[in-house]
């Protein structure tokens, strides 16, 4: 359970300086004051919004594996201590800076941030906010930025998935896996083979739209896929596990197939047998969502807008597996680490 601490209990260089500057009332936030230690719940002083910034009243925040890694010091980004994790959120606009023209007070929005969203309030640049359509709930919207942003990028932008192609999705019952199934099946009209590590997770993936499933804890993924599609293989593989699962996914590809590496949930990074690329004319590629956020924001923004549009149209159905309140942040992290999560894990700030 997260400890509740006051401003005086955290490094004076951070919170006490803010208090002296007189920024007004405080709000609660999850705080990483020391790497590889449980998070605390602290009272953080507000700061003024800059002309291009927006203050958001956060309702839901996604819990992602990246949040856990950054709190362990194992992520590519290393914010100075102490910091608040949280990459994605939904909420309502509280205040706008003088130059803000994209949203107004009271608008419902989703946003992406650089690790500051696990808090009752979040201040962010106006360009990193998107209005939530009328028919989409705040909870549904909170699932979209990371999981569905990744799914749309992987399937549409990287793999160029076509209707009636067969897509193999590993770690299929996780938040991003279920988003992959949703987008591939209901938006792109592809056929999905869901691969997961238990019968229960395979069952959920089937319920969420996969045409068939494979429990790769019970034997060879490649052989199981071969029984389903024959020697022709699958057109696209989306791998989030790494190690042997990646290699078997690669070997399951048809000629001119494409595999997209999204993550390494299994903890092992496989070496790529490039002879297979040559012999079968297949392509292996990676996807890091943050690259587009920082290097090609127009494409990133279009993808999140597409996710909201798909949700508004009823084409996708974001799935929440568990909701924790802010005080249970460490339980939420443990839930993800122990692979108990199916679908998106959210923090509720209300």
d(CA 91, CA 107): 8
CA-wise closest residue to 253 among 212, 222, 285, 210 = 222
User: What does the domain layout of the chain look like in residue ranges?
Assistant: 3-143+319-348, 146-290
Whether 3-143+319-348 and 146-290 share one fold: the answer is no
> First and final CA of the chain: distance in angstroms?
18
d(CA 47, CA 25): 9
Does domain 3-143+319-348 bear CATH number 3.90.180.10? yes
Residue 285's CB: how many other CB atoms inside 10 A?
11
Instruction: Please write the tens of the pLDDT for every residue from 31-81.
Output: 999 999 999 999 999 999 999 999 999 999 999 999 999 999 988 889 999
CATH class for the domain made up of 146-290: alpha beta
Mean pLDDT over residues 322-329, rounded? 97
Is the pLDDT assigned to residue 12 strictly greater than 60?
no
Q: 8-12, 57-61, 211-215, 328-332 — which is least confidently predicted?
A: 8-12
Residues shown for the chain: 350
Sheet holding 166-169, edge to edge: 212-215, 191-196, 166-169, 234-239, 253-261, 283-286
Instruction: Please write the tens of the pLDDT for every residue from 283-318.
Output: 999 999 989 988 999 999 999 999 999 999 999 999
Q: Are 29 and 48 in contact (CB under 8 A)?
A: no
d(CA 177, CA 169): 7
Res 115: pLDDT:
87
Is the pLDDT assigned to residue 107 strictly greater than 60?
yes
Question: At a CB cut-off of 8 Å and minimum separation 6, what does 210 contact?
Answer: 169, 172, 181, 185, 192, 193, 194
Res 16: pLDDT:
38
d(CA 279, CA 226): 18
The DSSP code sequence of 184-232 is IIIIS--EEEEEESSHHHHHHHHHTT-SEEEETTSS-HHHHHHHHHGGG
Give me the residue label for tokens 């909701």.
323
Can you state the angle between helices 175-182 and 199-207, rounded to 10 degrees? 40
Q: Are 168 and 142 in contact (CB under 8 A)?
A: no
Res 140: pLDDT:
97
Is the pLDDT assigned to residue 22 strictly greater than 70?
no
């Amino acid at each position: 359970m997260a400890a509740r601490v006051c401003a005086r209990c955290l490094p004076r260089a951070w919170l006490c300086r803010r208090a002296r500057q007189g920024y007004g009332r405080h709000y609660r936030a999850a705080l990483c004051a020391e790497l590889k230690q449980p998070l605390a719940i602290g009272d953080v002083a507000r700061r003024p919004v800059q002309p291009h910034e927006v203050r958001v009243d956060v309702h839901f925040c996604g819990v992602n594996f990246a949040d856990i890694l950054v709190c362990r010091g194992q992520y590519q980004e290393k914010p100075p201590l102490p910091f608040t994790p949280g990459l994605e959120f939904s909420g309502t606009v509280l205040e706008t800076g003088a130059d803000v023209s994209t949203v107004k007070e009271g608008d419902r929005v989703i946003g992406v941030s650089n690790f500051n969203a696990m808090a009752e309030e979040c201040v962010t640049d106006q360009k990193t906010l998107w209005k939530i359509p009328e028919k989409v709930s705040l909870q549904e919207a909170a699932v979209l930025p990371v999981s569905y942003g990744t799914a749309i990028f992987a399937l549409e932008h990287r793999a160029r998935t076509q209707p009636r192609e067969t897509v193999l999705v590993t770690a299929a019952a996780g938040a991003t896996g279920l988003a992959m199934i949703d987008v591939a099946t209901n938006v792109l009209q592809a056929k999905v083979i869901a691969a997961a590590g238990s019968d229960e997770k395979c069952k959920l993936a089937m319920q969420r739209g996969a045409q068939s499933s494979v429990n790769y804890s019970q034997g060879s993924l490649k052989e199981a896929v071969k029984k389903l599609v024959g020697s022709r293989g699958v057109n696209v593989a989306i791998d989030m596990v790494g190690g042997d699962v990646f290699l078997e996914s690669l070997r399951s590809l048809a000629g001119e197939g494409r595999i997209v590496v999204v993550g390494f949930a299994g903890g092992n990074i496989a070496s790529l047998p490039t002879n297979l690329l040559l012999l079968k004319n297949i392509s292996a590629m990676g996807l890091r969502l943050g690259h587009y956020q920082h290097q090609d924001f127009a494409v990133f923004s279009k993808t999140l807008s597409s996710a909201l549009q798909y949700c508004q149209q009823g084409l996708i159905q974001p799935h929440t597996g568990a909701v924790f309140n802010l005080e249970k942040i460490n339980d939420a992290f443990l839930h993800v680490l122990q692979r108990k999560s199916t679908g998106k894990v959210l923090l509720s700030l209300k």
